[in-house]
């Protein structure tokens, strides 16, 4: 079975991130495919490069990146939600005349069209809401 996943919750403000991660790991272990993980609303903070949680806390950004590399999963940050919260890719920061990039490795920024395409190609669409 092919899944598209949407995460709306901030990584450290509720259970959405951990629940989504555990679901994706379990689905992959059962032989399913994850086509895309779409980070929306405060879920975009999963892809923030500057996060530096203490070593004994969950390292969401790193975990998503490693999981995506190992399983060819598309990690997409919603461009509208990212812009509202000040998170930009290198391309967008150049366009806005900023010198930095906020996007963590393995993540990319795109629009809702990518989410629609993923849901069309998936057998199931699962949403992990924010708190």
Looking at residue 64, what is its pLDDT? Answer: 97
Other CB atoms within 10 A of residue 34 CB? 24
Looking at residue 53, what is its pLDDT? Answer: 83
Fold of 2-128: Hypothetical Protein Ychn; Chain: A, (3.40.1260)
Whether 96 sits among the annotated catalytic residues: the reply is no
Pick the catalytic residue from 5, 78, 82, 88: 78
Task: Give domain limits for the chain.
Answer: 2-128
Looking at residue 95, what is its pLDDT? Answer: 73
pLDDT string in tens for the chain (131-residue length): 999 999 999 998 899 999 999 999 999 999 999 999 999 999 999 999 888 888 887 889 999 999 999 999 999 999 999 989 887 766 776 676 665 668 889 999 999 999 999 999 999 999 999 87
Q: Residue 52: is it exposed, middle or buried by C-beta count within 10 angstroms (0-12/13-18/19+)? A: exposed
């Amino acid at each position: 079975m092919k899944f598209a996943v949407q995460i709306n919750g901030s990584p450290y403000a509720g259970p959405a991130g951990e629940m989504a991660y555990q679901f994706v790991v379990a689905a992959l272990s059962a032989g399913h495919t994850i086509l895309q993980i779409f980070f929306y609303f405060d879920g975009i903070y999963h892809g923030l490069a500057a996060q530096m949680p203490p070593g004994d806390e969950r390292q969401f950004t790193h975990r998503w990146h490693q999981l995506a590399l190992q399983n060819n999963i598309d990690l997409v940050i919603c461009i509208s939600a990212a812009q509202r919260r000040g998170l930009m890719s290198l391309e967008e920061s150049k366009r806005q005349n900023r010198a930095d990039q906020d996007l963590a490795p393995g993540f990319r920024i795109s629009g809702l069209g990518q989410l629609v395409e993923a849901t069309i190609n998936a057998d199931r669409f699962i949403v992990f809401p924010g708190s």
